[in-house]
Structure 1
Amino acid sequence: MDYTVNNKEAWEEAFNKHKEGWGDDINSRLANENLPFIEEVLAEELTRYDFKAKAIAQFCCNNGRELMGLMKLGASSGTGFDIAENMIAFANKKAGELELNCNFIATDIRDIKESYNNSFDYIFITIGALAWFRDLKVFFEKVAACLKPQGLLFIHEMHPVTGMFGVYGEENFDESMPEKVVNSYFKEEPWIENNGMGYMCGKDYESKTFYSYSHTLSDILNGIIQNGMNITKLKEFDYDISESFQELSNKGIPLSFLLVSQKK
């Protein structure tokens, strides 16, 4: 079974069902905010780097809004990759309207063409991306290939520990004890769901089946290291960036992390 076929169909279905007005704020936020759509911790980190004349890319870029926001840092070009064709079509249309030098490509990340090898100074991965890949070593192999020598990878993601807890609406979630551990940190079998992409649609719905995977922190670190990249920064935080674990925020539980890595 190629799980990415199912995930592609589920993501495209979710975009077609997105709630009214979702994505309509891109123009106004780009005009009025310094780094719209970028979480504060990542935005603060990025201000430490020079973006002038830099080529940047985002893997799993969704509708492109984060990458378009990152262009405000002065990058010369932006390239976004995502498996959902309708999201990519939206992103290209929006970038054209805004006259941004961004290009969005519909592809499985693992199938990004070799013509993009050694192309990018910076690559970004934000919340929710890593869970869609069963094998992170293969994923980071593509990241390393696309980065220029000395290029940087930025990851701002949910902490792997979050996979141990239940989420509201799941059978094993205990509303009176949200910190209860209900899943193994080392879970290998996929999460199999068909209740929709709620954050985009604003509600659950019976959707096409999609698959996601848990990864340990060592899975992430080893996937990076084994592909010729050095980890230059790792910071962990006890606050939720997913809106799924708000009850656990600021209670000493690792819920999110920021990682910076450099290609050798």
Structure 2
Amino acid sequence: MTDYRTVNRANWDERAPAHAASPDYGLHRFRTDPAYLSEVVRFDRPRLGDLTGLRTVHLQCHIGTDTLSLHRLGARVTGLDFSGASLAEARALADGTGAAIDYVEADVYDAGRVLDAGSFDLVYTGVGALCWLPDIRRWAQVVTALLRPGGRLHLREQHPVLWALDDNRTDGLLAVEYPYFERAEPNVWDEPGTYVETDSEFQHTVSHEWNHGLGEVVGALLAAGCEVTALVEHDSVPWQALPGLMVSDGRGEWRLRDRPWRLPLTYTLQARKRG
């Protein structure tokens, strides 16, 4: 089987310039407004607390908008991603805004080897990251290895219930079609576009993804030496995940138009490494 990292890296490398140019990521806002924060970080700002001086690593940072937002909240941030093209855009954004951010190119499973293990106050992971990883237990072990004793994880992620839904239905029904639980074999997608507004056409259209049940994520962190300190499920997601069924709130979040209380769309999880 083709290595999933090769396939997925080609997909992200090709999309990184299109994402940086898209109005949906709002890089011009970061460059013109020194107080501007990404909508994802802004959503969880009350839960993030005071980040002043915290040594922080943003895993799977992509083009660095959340990374820069954490820096603007006072964190000392390192961003890590396996896509060199994504990191080129992230570095250009940091340089253009005068932000002192270190970026490291590596697979997330190698983070404990290429970064200073046991030295971080905060590990941050944003929406749409975990689906690219085949083994949630290895991820949890990486998180724990990076944190100092008492250091914490902040994760906001798409809910595994949403990942399991068929998003191509035209009858308005919410139907479970794909695995909720982690499986050895990936879901293999062949999709010509991307999740932001762009006129770009892509050659690398295949991706390999995995779902991870909420209990699997929590259990992996507990087994790796963390204690869960907060878990909140949300009825919103920061993109139109179910086309035609959702409405924007005007602040970067989308909810079901019809009875949004039926479905969890994202969750925020916080955990602390046992001392």
Q: Which TM bucket (shorter chain)? A: 0.7 to 0.9
The DSSP-based 3-state class of the residue aligned with 2:262 is coil
Q: Report whether the alignment pairs 1:243 with 2:229.
A: no
1:153-164 to structure 2, matched below 5 A, reads 153-164=153-164
Paired residues of 2:22 and 2:198 also in contact (CA < 8 A): no
The DSSP-based 3-state class of the residue aligned with 2:40 is coil
**1:154-196 deviations in Å (ceiling 9; x for gaps):** 01111110122111xxxxx322223122234236231112214
Note the aligned Cα RMSD (angstroms): 2.3
For 1:119 and 1:196, the matched residues in 2 are separated by 41
TM-score (norm 1): 0.87
Q: Report whether the alignment pairs 1:13 with 2:14.
A: yes
Give the AA of the match of 1:123: V
The answer for the alignment partner of 1:202 in structure 2 is: 198
The answer for the alignment partner of 1:182 in structure 2 is: 177
Moved more, 151-160 or 94-103: 94-103
The DSSP-based 3-state class of the residue aligned with 1:218 is helix
Aligned length: 255
Unaligned runs of 5+ in 2: 247-254
Cα offset for 1:69?
A: 0.9
The answer for the alignment partner of 2:61 in structure 1 is: 61
For 2:20 and 2:88, the matched residues in 1 are separated by 18
Cα offset for 1:81?
A: 0.5
Q: Report whether the alignment pairs 1:92 with 2:94.
A: no
Give the AA of the match of 2:14: E
TM-score (norm 2): 0.84
The answer for the alignment partner of 1:165 in structure 2 is: 165
Paired residues of 1:233 and 1:261 also in contact (CA < 8 A): yes
1:128-147 to structure 2, matched below 5 A, reads 128-147=128-147
1:110-125 to structure 2, matched below 5 A, reads 110-112=109-111, 113=113, 115-125=115-125
Cα offset for 1:99?
A: 2.1
Cα gap change, 1:38/1:115 in structure 2, threshold over 3 Å: closer, same or farther? closer
Q: Report whether the alignment pairs 1:38 with 2:37.
A: no
